Amino acid sequence: VLAWRRARPVREVLFFPSRPCCIEALLAEAAEPGAPARPCPCPLPSGDTALSRLVRRLLSARRSLDLCLFSFSCPQLARAVQLLHRRGVRVRLVTDAQYMGLHGSQIGRLRHAGIQVRHDQHSGYMHHKFAIVDRRMLITGSLNWTTQAIQSNRENVLVLEDAEYVKAFQDEFDRIWEEYNPANYRFF
Amino acid sequence: VLAWRRARPVREVLFFPSRPCCIEALLAEAAEPGAPARPCPCPLPSGDTALSRLVRRLLSARRSLDLCLFSFSCPQLARAVQLLHRRGVRVRLVTDAQYMGLHGSQIGRLRHAGIQVRHDQHSGYMHHKFAIVDRRMLITGSLNWTTQAIQSNRENVLVLEDAEYVKAFQDEFDRIWEEYNPANYRFF
C-alpha cells in the first residue's frame, strides 16, 4: 500500500525572455483532457520554456484564478485565461485603466467572453503583475503579460505555494477588487 | 548563559503606495551609527511605512549590494545606495539603456559617485527590479525605484532570506553583469 504523500510545494523562478515555443498542445490538452493530440502546423518547438511553464501553472487552476495585471496584451495567455473561464474556473481580473485601452490589449476580448474585469480610477498605476491560482499558488514578478515582455525583455516570475505569501497577496487582491467595484465609482 | 540563536529568516511583503514618510533619521543613523539624532525640519512623519522598511533592508548591507533595476529615479533610494558605497559596501548596478538617460534618473549621479553601472545593448528592456543584499537577502517585485511608483502606484515587493531564491537571482545577476560588460560591446 502506498502511503499518502503530500506533494512538495511549488517553489520556482522563471526568467525571461523565453525561448520561442508553441503552446497549442498545452491548450488543447487543457481544453479536452485525454483527446488525441493533433500536431500543430507551426514551426515552433513545443519544448520546456519559461512561457510554457507559466502557462502550465495557470492551466492547473481548478476553482479560481485572480489576476492583477498592469498590462495584458499577450494573446496566448489570454487564450489560456479564456479556456479556464469556459471550464468553469472563477476568473477575476484587475487591471490598469490607462493601459487597458491600448492597442493589442486583451481586456476587451476577455470582458466580451464574460470575464469580470475591474480597473482603477486613479492617476497612479495599478502596476502589480500577479496571479493567484486556487487561492493556493502565487505567481508574481516583473513580467507584464505582453508578447514583447515574454519574447524580448529580461524579466522574472516567482511561483510559490506558500500560505503566508499567498495570503498577503490574496488580501491585497480582495482589497483592490472591492475598492475598484464599479458601484463605488465617483464621477467627476 | 544565553544560547546562540540563529535569527529567523526574513519573509516580508511590502505593498505600495507607501504613506509619505521622512527617512532622514534612518540615513543619518546609517551614516553615523550612534550619533545624536538631529530632528529633521520637514513636516513628514518618520513612521513605519513600506518605503522606510525598504530603506532599512537596503541599509542592512555590510558587504555587497547587487541592483538590477529597470528605472531608478528616486533620490531617497539613491542616497541610501550612495551611503552604502561610501561605507565600503561593494555596489554593482545593472540598468536599462533606454531608461537610464531619462529626466530625473539617478544613474548619472551614482556613476559620478564611483558606483559601477552596466546596461544592456538590446532593444528589449532590462525590466527586472530586484536587489540582493550581502548575497543573502532578495528584494524583488513590481516596484521601479521611482518616486511616482513609491508614492502613487499599486506595487508589491517581496523580501526573502531564502538561499534557493537568492541563488537563482544571484546567478541571473552574474549572467547579466558579465553579458553587459563594456568589454563585450559591439559597435554597429
Give me the active site residues of B, please: 127, 129, 134
Domain limits for position B54: 11-18+49-184
Is B34 inside a domain boundary? Answer: no
Confidence of residue A183 (pLDDT cuts 50, 70, 90): confident
Q: What is the pLDDT of residue B185?
A: 73
**Which member of A149, A154, A176 has the closest CB to residue B154?**
A176
ipTM value for the complex: 0.93
Is A176 inside a domain boundary? Answer: yes
A118-173: per-residue pLDDT in tens? Answer: 998 877 999 999 999 999 999 999 999 999 999 999 999 999 999 999 999 999 99
Is B25 inside a domain boundary? Answer: no
| Chain A residue numbers touching B141 (CB-CB < 8 A) | 140-142
DSSP string, B48-116: --HHHHHHHHHHT-SSEEEEEES-B--HHHHHHHHHHHHTT-EEEEEE-TTTTTSTT-SHHHHHHTT-E
Q: Is the pLDDT of residue A4 over 80?
A: no
| Chain B residue numbers touching A120 (CB-CB < 8 A) | 154
Is B125 inside a domain boundary? Answer: yes
Is A72 inside a domain boundary? Answer: yes
- CB contact, 8 Å: A20 with chain B? no
- CB contact, 8 Å: B73 with chain A? no
- CB contact, 8 Å: A86 with chain B? no
Q: What is the pLDDT of residue A103?
A: 80
A27-50: per-residue pLDDT in tens? Answer: 999 999 888 878 889 999 888 999
B9-51: per-residue pLDDT in tens? Answer: 999 999 999 999 999 999 999 999 888 878 889 999 888 999 9
Which H or E element spans position A86? helix A75-86
Catalytic residue, candidates A85, A119, A128, A129? A129
What does DSSP say about strands B64-69 and B129-133: parallel, antiparallel, or unpaired?
antiparallel
Does the beta-carbon distance from A164 to B11 stay under 8 Å? yes
Please state, for a pLDDT cut of 90, what percent of chain A lies above it.
78
Please count the structural domains in chain A.
1
Is A26 inside a domain boundary? Answer: no
**Which member of A13, A126, A154 has the closest CB to residue B168?**
A13
Is A1 inside a domain boundary? Answer: no
**Which member of B13, B129, B130 has the closest CB to residue A165?**
B13
- Give bridge partners of residue A156 from the DSSP assignment: A15
Mean pLDDT to the nearest integer, B162-174: 98
Is B115 inside a domain boundary? Answer: yes
Q: Which three cell numbers stand for residue A138?
A: 502565487
Confidence of residue B174 (pLDDT cuts 50, 70, 90): very high
Q: What is the pLDDT of residue A2?
A: 55
B10-20: per-residue pLDDT in tens? Answer: 999 999 999 99
Does the beta-carbon distance from B152 to A124 stay under 8 Å? yes
Residues B163 and B10: beta-carbon distance below 8 Å: no
B109-133: per-residue pLDDT in tens? Answer: 999 999 999 998 877 999 999 999 9
Picking from B16, B121, B138, B142 by the largest number of A CB atoms within 10 A of its own CB, the best residue to mutate is: B142
